[in-house]
Amino acid sequence: MINEEDKYVHDIVPLNRNFTMIKKKNNVLLNRNVTMMKKENNGTCAGQVLVAVAAHFLLMCSSSLSDTTTLAFVVPTTTTLLRRKRRGDTNNNNNNNNNKEDDATKFVAVFETQTDADSSSSTLLFEPFLVGIQRDFKNRFPQYKSDITDGLTGQCIATIMFLFFACLAPAIGFGSVVSAATNNHMGVIEMVASTSLSGMMYAIFSAQPVQLIGPQGPVVAFIAALYGVSSMLQIPFLSLYGLTGIIASSFLTVFAVTSASNLVSKLTRWTDEIFSVLVSVLFLTQAVGDVTVTFVAAAAAATSATAVVTSVTKLTTIALLTLVTCATTFGTALVLKMNLPKTRYLTSSIRKNLANFAPAIGVIIGSLLARLAQMYLLGSSSISLPALQLPSEFVTSTGRSWLSLLTTGIINTNTKKLLWLTAIPAGFAAAILLYLDQNITARLVNHPRYKQRKGKRSSVLDGMHGDMLVLALLTAISSILGLPWMCGAPTRSAAHVRNLSIVSNNDDGSGSGEVIEGTIENRVTGFAIHAMIGICAICTSPRNLLRTVPKPALSGIFLYLGYTSLQGLELWDRFRGLFKDRIGAEGAKYSTVKRYKITVFTLIQTACVWTMMKVTNSRIGVISPILIALLPFIRWLVLKTKLIDESDMKLLDD
């Protein structure tokens, strides 16, 4: 900040479209060539030299900066200094020397403050070749050693145990879906192998290792649609898939080297919260649906004309046991994680450790309960819950070699022209899908509330360009090996960063009673989670152990994931506030906005979530990324139609 005593500062005038220079009191404007101030005794002021050189460099590179970028040059009055130098005046007192040093310090402080903010994320939508990638890796890789040592803590071990189940279950579930959709050209083993390989490599090479990648519903829907196209055109599916993936990887590489991820800087809380609530609700509906289907089966058997009492009793027992196992897993994890730390029971360290291991403890207790009920209460070996299942051998679903596409060639077909004509537009669509899923997940992980420090975290864009390049390489590798594509997993990534957060129970006024003081930023957790998944796919003993974990216990984990991910989201708070006498926990924020405006804003967002959920779960789920891209346009329509005025939108969408 410039003090009032700084007599040489009068006002700020624009120099060009990028910079502003401070006008001196004697109305002498500084031109584009910053004059280097000389000190007495034939020396130079190091701070002033640094500033002048840096300013000259920035002026030459001004074409790569945004029109709105502003750099304030705080320059002392140079006329007197140069005049004294020409006269050979050496009678400057210590106060003048101190003032000059202070001036240079102020200059450097302002310069560093501005350039640090701009260095991590340019306001340009596109940057010169490789600029964004170099910045991301240069900022992050110097902390590589601490990324390993910081991950060797009890909290990180607890996070690994929890996220292992949370990442393995979707891999198995989506693997079953893609197996049915592609006529077993891909299956569970390919999905698990891709999850493990891509997850480990991403943890090693990414610029934001706290983010997790994994299988996503829209990607699975796209693969299913691609198989339908290959069947219709009579093109070998794996050839079309491999070529489509390589083309998608090429587009992702172009996005990375041109810093195209800067486009997501135009998104606001409006888009972030709709997407966050969407993925949370999808997990909740999946968990509730898995339990509901067992009761539907029991009801259908009971109302059947050929119903057998023993069959109806068995199905009803399974449904009730499914509900109890799911509720026990969810309830145990929730109580240990959210309620126990607020009590006085046990010691502070024990409460903390139980909270860290809450999801894993929930799975263990839920599994034990189901096992005990089957052995001692029901007394029947015919009544059992479905458990996790992995292939008995580590071989591809079709029996082909893992490197078959390399040895035989991807474009090994008689319809090469048709293959290219189909793969190019499909590859572009796949690239857009992966781009949106990856970057929206990165925005959630990079949110300022998690207070991450490594890699000069000053923007939600930090690390996106480097990670996009890593994702492009992983997409190419998966395509060549015939493995499903991976991308940012929003719910699992949010759970990852939340479990790595250092939380205190001091009330910050939001009503949550918890304040995030920082995040354990490391590469160990992400690598270990996916390494354990790979071990389960390759080794026999871990596979046999997983067969003892009932699926309802994992449904409880999905319920826990979805519920905890909703906490702290303003959209969720405002939705619940619709049924209360006051909307939102932060009453002061909404004090100037009329209640009906908040209601309209919340209902529009809720309608967006409902529409996207319906589309995602339908046969046209492949277009769900397009709906995400349209969310800013819907926000613009809300403003254009005056449903919400500009001033209220700034408060609601802050």
Q: Express each pLDDT in 231-257 by its tens digit.
A: 988 888 999 999 999 999 999 999 999
Mean pLDDT of 394-401: 84
The rounded radius of gyration (Å) of the Cα atoms in the chain is 29
Q: How many whole angstroms separate alpha carbon 208 and alpha carbon 133?
A: 12
CB 511 within 8 A of CB 589: no
- 3-class DSSP state for residue 437? helix
What pLDDT, on a 0 to 100 scale, did the predictor assign at position 490? 83
Q: For residue 501, give every residue at least 6 positions away whose Cβ sits within 8 Å of its Cβ, in sequence order, or none.
A: 450, 516, 518, 519, 520
For strand 501-504 and strand 487-488, is the pairing parallel, antiparallel, or unpaired? unpaired
Q: How many whole angstroms separate alpha carbon 196 and alpha carbon 527?
A: 9
> Which range among 422-431, 619-628, 642-651 shows the weakest confidence by mean pLDDT?
619-628
What pLDDT, on a 0 to 100 scale, did the predictor assign at position 123? 53
In degrees, rounded to 5, the angle at the alpha carbon of residue 177 between the alpha carbons of residues 175 and 183 is 95
H helical segments located in 88-187: 94-120, 131-140, 144-149, 154-181
- Residue 606 CB neighbours (<10 A): 16
pLDDT band for position 495 (50/70/90)? confident
Q: How many whole angstroms separate alpha carbon 501 and alpha carbon 284?
A: 23
Q: Structure tokens of 103?
A: 């001036």
pLDDT digits (tens, 9 = 90+) for 556-600: 888 888 888 888 788 888 888 888 876 655 555 677 888 888 889
Q: Structure tokens of 555?
A: 């449904």
Q: Which H/E stretch holds residue 11?
A: strand 9-14
pLDDT digits (tens, 9 = 90+) for 261-320: 888 888 888 888 888 888 788 888 888 988 998 898 888 877 776 666 677 788 888 889
- Residue 342 CB neighbours (<10 A): 12
> E strands along 153-300, which residues?
213-214
pLDDT digits (tens, 9 = 90+) for 414-445: 778 888 999 999 999 899 889 988 998 898 88
Bridge partners of 9, per DSSP, are 24
Q: How many whole angstroms separate alpha carbon 559 and alpha carbon 579?
A: 23
Q: How many whole angstroms separate alpha carbon 455 and alpha carbon 143?
A: 8
Q: How many whole angstroms separate alpha carbon 478 and alpha carbon 132?
A: 25
Q: Is the whole model's pTM more than 0.75, yes or no?
A: no
pLDDT digits (tens, 9 = 90+) for 464-487: 999 999 999 999 999 999 999 999
Q: How many whole angstroms separate alpha carbon 147 and alpha carbon 135?
A: 18
Q: Structure tokens of 312?
A: 């109806």
pLDDT band for position 382 (50/70/90)? low
pLDDT digits (tens, 9 = 90+) for 47-72: 443 333 333 333 333 333 333 333 33
Greatest extent of the chain over all pairs of C-alpha atoms, in Å: 113
